[in-house]
Amino acid sequence: MDHYKKTLIYFFSGTGNARRIASWFSEFAETKKIECQTFDLSKISPPKKEEIDPSALIVFISPIHGFNYPKITLDFIINFPKGNNHVVLMNTRAGMKIGNWVTPGLTGIAFLFSALILKIKGYKIDGLIPFDMPSNWISIHPSLNDNTVRFLHLKNHEKVQRHAAKIFSYGKDFVALKDIIQDLLISPVSIGYFLIGRFLFAKSFYASPACNNCESCIKNCPVNAIKSLQGRPYWTFDCESCMKCMNTCPHNAIETAHGLFLMTGILSAPVFGFLSTHFIDLGISEFFQNIVSTVFFLIVLWGLYHIQHRMLVNGKLGTIITAFSLTHFKKWGRYKSIPDSKWKNGTEI
């Protein structure tokens, strides 16, 4: 017997994976005659308590960024009203393919932290389910090939059917708890990413000379993190590195600033070493010294990012800067979740 009459799905998605899981879950609900409403949480404010049907199942789906949900999802959950509905938390992680095996990503503290917040608000947590969709972090690795992308879509579609059947029949599915040890072990990195790492990655994007200033990235960023400075897109620290802009720019003009990071490392390490040995007696443990040096790296990066932005106005300098970005090589590619028609209907895998 089905458990729920209505489902409310709140999702965030940079490159379409979480959106795809939301739509597959919603399709499954419809086959069971369960009314399902889907909301892109980047386009709405958290609902008011009285707007939520107390008998509805609530589902949150979001990618994992730095072993946690991204800030936009965490903010939405933190500002969600109190209630006592049943809730299922889902995520999309960085899946890859080895043979016929899907290699799993890492959830980190995303489920534990969000489940705790929702529990404190009065909700009943009925499931924690990760989905290993294609990794979209093409700043650090080339995009996955078409075969792998199709394979991962097919496998995750099957997985949604299994877990949705379980949720709608029995109501409970805590498959993510089998990873709890590794998720807890990685928790210091989750916190480091949230406090510092995400600001470093916010400065990893820039628009190459191929940019024609169409402003599509500025208009479509889910957190309004790109502004126009000197007539060119400029990435602020608000960027959540969701990868939407980079993967949807119509001119493939958004690159990862590998050269800038290399230059920042070359300049900041010796300067920080010199300052801390000769002028500043930090008198703190190695752990805190590492934090201070990372903050110093971030400050140097911010300064150099500004300089790079000015240099990019000049076409010739822009071409030289772009040559130092691995993402510039055609084979590196871009990633966007593919429509169902590309892997369904007998498409060869």
Ligand X SMILES: Cc1cc2nc3c(=O)[nH]c(=O)nc-3n(C[C@H](O)[C@H](O)[C@H](O)COP(=O)(O)O)c2cc1C
Give the nearer residue to ligand X in terms of CB position, either 189 or 269. Answer: 189
Residue 330, number of CB atoms within 10 A of its CB: 6
CA distance 145 to 307: 35
Please state the closest distance from residue 108 (CB atom) to ligand X, in A.
6
Shortest distance, position 224 Cβ to ligand SF4, whole Å: 8
Nearer to ligand SF4, 284 or 323 (CB): 323
Binding to ligand X in span 147-206, by CB under 6 A? 201
> DSSP E strands: which ranges in 135-265?
205-207, 226-229, 232-235, 254-256
Element (H, E) at 300: helix 286-312
Q: How far is the CB of 163 from ligand X (least distance, A)?
A: 16
- The least CB distance from residue 319 to ligand X, in Å, is 26
92, 131 contact by CB (below 8 A) = yes
Please select the residue that binds ligand SF4; options are 9, 59, 249, 301, rule is CB under 6 A: 249
Count the Cβ atoms, other than its own, within 10 Å of residue 172: 14
Does 90 help bind ligand X (rule: CB under 6 A)? Answer: no
Residues touching ligand X: how many (CB under 6 A)?
Answer: 26
192-226 CB burial, b ≥16 within 10 A, e <16: bbbeebbbbbbbbbbbbbebeeeeebbeebbbebb
Say whether residue 322 binds ligand SF4 (CB under 6 A): no
Which of 220, 245, 249, 226 minimizes the C-alpha distance to 309? Answer: 226
**Does 241 engage in binding with ligand X (CB under 6 A)?**
yes
Is there binding between residue 222 and ligand X (CB under 6 A)? no
List the one residue out of 234, 263, 257 whose CA is nearest residue 322: 257
Q: From the centroid of its chain, how far is CA 47?
A: 23
For ligand X, what does the binding mask look like between residues 64 and 83, x meaning CB under 6 A?
xxxx----------------
Q: Is residue 34 part of the contact set for ligand SF4 (CB under 6 A)?
A: no
- N- to C-terminal Cα separation, the chain: 36
**Is the Cβ of residue 237 or residue 274 nearer to ligand SF4 in the bound state?**
237
Question: Which residues within the stretch 114-153 sit at the binding site for ligand SF4 (CB under 6 A)?
Answer: none
Rounded distance between C-alpha atoms, residue 153 and residue 343, angstroms:
7
Taking CB under 6 A as the binding criterion, the range among 62-70, 205-213, 229-237, 262-270 that sits at the site for ligand X is 62-70
64 binds, among ligand SF4, ligand X, none (CB under 5 to 8 A by kind): ligand X
Which CB sits closer to ligand X, 93 or 155? 93
Tokens matching residue 320: 């030289």
Site for ligand SF4 in 216-245 (CB under 6 A): 216-217, 221-223, 225-226, 233, 235, 239-245
CA–CA distance from 143 to each of 90, 135, 147, 320, 331 (Å)? 24, 8, 12, 23, 8
Q: Footprint of ligand X on residues 1-40 (CB under 6 A)? A: 13-18
Give the one residue of 76, 80, 137, 206 binding ligand X; rule: CB under 6 A. 137
Q: Does residue 211 belong to the site contacting ligand X (CB under 6 A)?
A: no
Does position 111 interact with ligand X (CB under 6 A)? The reply is no
Nearer to ligand X, 18 or 34 (CB): 18
Find where tokens 């498409």 sit: 347
CA angle 254, 62, 158 (to 5 degrees): 105
Q: Which residues bind ligand SF4 (CB under 6 A)?
A: 14, 207, 211-217, 221-223, 225-226, 233, 235, 239-245, 249, 251, 253-254
Q: Which residues bind ligand X (CB under 6 A)?
A: 13-18, 63-67, 92-94, 105-106, 108, 133, 135-137, 201, 241-243, 337
